Structure 1
Amino acid sequence: MQSQKSFAKDQTSGILYLVPTPIGNLGDMTFRSVETLKKVDVIASEDTRNTQKLLNHFDIETKQISFHEYNTRQRVPELVKRLLDGENIAQVSDAGMPSISDPGHDLVVACIKQHISVVPLPGANAGLTALIASGLSPQPFYFFGFLNRKQTEQKQQLEKLVNKEETLIIYEAPHRLKKTLTNMNTIFGEERQAVLCRELTKKFEEFLRGSLQELLTWATENEIRGEFVIIVEGNQHASQASTEALPAMSLEDQITNLISAGEKPNDAIKQVAKLRGLRKQDVYATYHHLRDSE
């Protein structure tokens, strides 16, 4: 067991501060966060150019060092050494809480192993900001973050999430939104309720509430801009048998949706067969009307 007294006076090493930054509105920066960034010896930033804009706005002159997913192996030992030598370091991501969808977690783990105090500051977080305004049940919730960009891997992830009873929190980029919603319609079902939360805290903040089918229609008919948080209703029938929890969409519609999302016909048939627990040959025959449909 390890005990951390964050502000003990007899500490010989420095402190790693995890400082949240605004997700869009600079007014969401806290007084404590600004003060911390001013007093530390260095700021470890995911993107120094992006963070410099924030520092300029608040007249913060502290020097930065880059710390991102491509230099983690080099930077973690370097930052830990500086902390052990007594320097105080603030770690920030491009937006929101550090360690969420960025390499900050690796640094936290390394610091804990060296008995270096890790002090988190509260602040902006896109997932929770979206959740409390979504209208869907705020608790319990399951934070997933970004789904895999590859089609096959993403569908496998969604299949693991389909029976989750908790409200789901998922991040998505604008250029991948339509494909992700298509996969959700196929695997979760068209009637599952969800909310698209766009441009949170910014001038064009928008919440789109409806069924997954309605949201897919919106994404198909409109130009998609801005970063999204997708809040998805938990499965209200997760305790039923898996066959009863399958999407209400017809077999043919499921296959058509996958093909529309870029899947090859045979791969789409294989995917639906696996999801429904059917033989691939039977699904193939039904889709191509080689025998009476279901």
Structure 2
Amino acid sequence: MAKAQGKLYLIPSTLGDIAPLEVLPISIKQAIEEIDHYVVENEKSARRFIKKISPRKSQPNLKMQVLNKYTDPQEIPGFLLPCLEGLDVGVLSEAGCPGIADPGADVVRIAHEKNIRVVPLVGPSSILLAMMASGLNGQDFAFNGYLPIDASERKKEIKRLERLSIEKGQSQIFIETPYRNDKLLGELLRSLSINTKLCIATDITLPTEFILTRPIRDWKNNRVELHKRPTIFIIQG
């Protein structure tokens, strides 16, 4: 009789420094207590997260494979070998949900190719939580990742997304490296029409959470400090 394959569990983490079980369901704790093989973006922070969730879990027994922008793509299929041997593997995101603005999508794609069952667990997605709280079009929206770094290209992209939001009535979502948030906000205020709505959602689920949607004309008079604070930006013309 053929041995049953293990499953690939997609395990969300917190969006910042907060007690995990304040925002994560008990199913996360149950999965972590049963899984010893993990695919992670950063081993040190992953071990710290697991210790917070399950203090009694044996750290020496944990087997971790690192998946980030430096990982050789040819190594990724090997991360799923435990599944082929009947053991479950967990994918842990650095913040939020694996596979959403996260390199975990690469190992999930290969799991499907190998007919390994993929199990997504419930947890916080900053993109969806921001969209929920924005009051903008939640029926039709697009996540655009990071905008270009080059100033002229970035301005063109901001104007393009604004036109797209007007033509389609579609909310446009994007993010920035936290230490460049204030610079991006300044560019949005200079480039967008005064009637375009902008939602700024920062520190989602944390005690310092701030979520507000206002037309650009109002934001010009009410600046907010976003430096080094994880932030989601949403616009709709």
Q: Normalised by the shorter chain, which TM-score bucket?
A: 0.7 to 0.9
How far is 1:105 from its partner? Answer: 1.1
Cα RMSD for the two superposed structures: 2.5
How far is 1:56 from its partner? Answer: 1.4
Contact 1:181–1:212 under 8 Å retained in 2: no
Contact 1:209–1:215 under 8 Å retained in 2: no
Q: Which stretch of structure 1 is more off in the superposition, 195-204 or 183-192?
A: 183-192
How far is 1:201 from its partner? Answer: 0.9
In the alignment, the residues of structure 1 paired with residue 121 and residue 132 of structure 2 have an alpha-carbon distance, to the nearest angstrom, of 20
Contact 1:45–1:66 under 8 Å retained in 2: yes
Mapped pair 1:23 → 2:35: no
Equivalent pairs, count: 225
Contact 2:203–2:209 under 8 Å retained in 1: yes
In the alignment, the residues of structure 2 paired with residue 224 and residue 12 of structure 1 have an alpha-carbon distance, to the nearest angstrom, of 49
Question: Which structure would you say has the larger Rg?
Answer: 1
The within-5 A match list for 1:171-190 is 171-190=175-194
Counterparts in 2 of 1:177 and 1:217: CA distance versus 1, 3 Å: farther
How far is 1:96 from its partner? Answer: 0.6
Counterparts in 2 of 1:41 and 1:132: CA distance versus 1, 3 Å: same
Higher relative contact order (CA 8 A, sep 6+): 2
Mapped pair 1:215 → 2:219: yes
Could you list the runs of 5+ residues in structure 2 that have no partner in the other structure? none
Counterpart of 2:5 in structure 1 is 13
Normalised to the residue count of structure 2, the TM-score between the two structures is 0.83
The C-alpha deviation readout for 1:103-155, integer Å capped at 9, x for no partner, is: 11111111111111111112110011112222323222222232233334433
Mapped pair 1:118 → 2:110: no
Normalised to the residue count of structure 1, the TM-score between the two structures is 0.68
In the alignment, the residues of structure 2 paired with residue 172 and residue 71 of structure 1 have an alpha-carbon distance, to the nearest angstrom, of 23
SS at structure 1 position matched to 2:182: helix
Mapped pair 1:46 → 2:41: yes
In the alignment, the residues of structure 1 paired with residue 200 and residue 186 of structure 2 have an alpha-carbon distance, to the nearest angstrom, of 14
In the alignment, the residues of structure 1 paired with residue 28 and residue 3 of structure 2 have an alpha-carbon distance, to the nearest angstrom, of 22
Counterpart of 1:107 in structure 2 is 107
The C-alpha deviation readout for 1:9-46, integer Å capped at 9, x for no partner, is: x7632211111112133211211111111212312111
How far is 1:156 from its partner? Answer: 4.1
In the alignment, the residues of structure 2 paired with residue 80 and residue 199 of structure 1 have an alpha-carbon distance, to the nearest angstrom, of 33
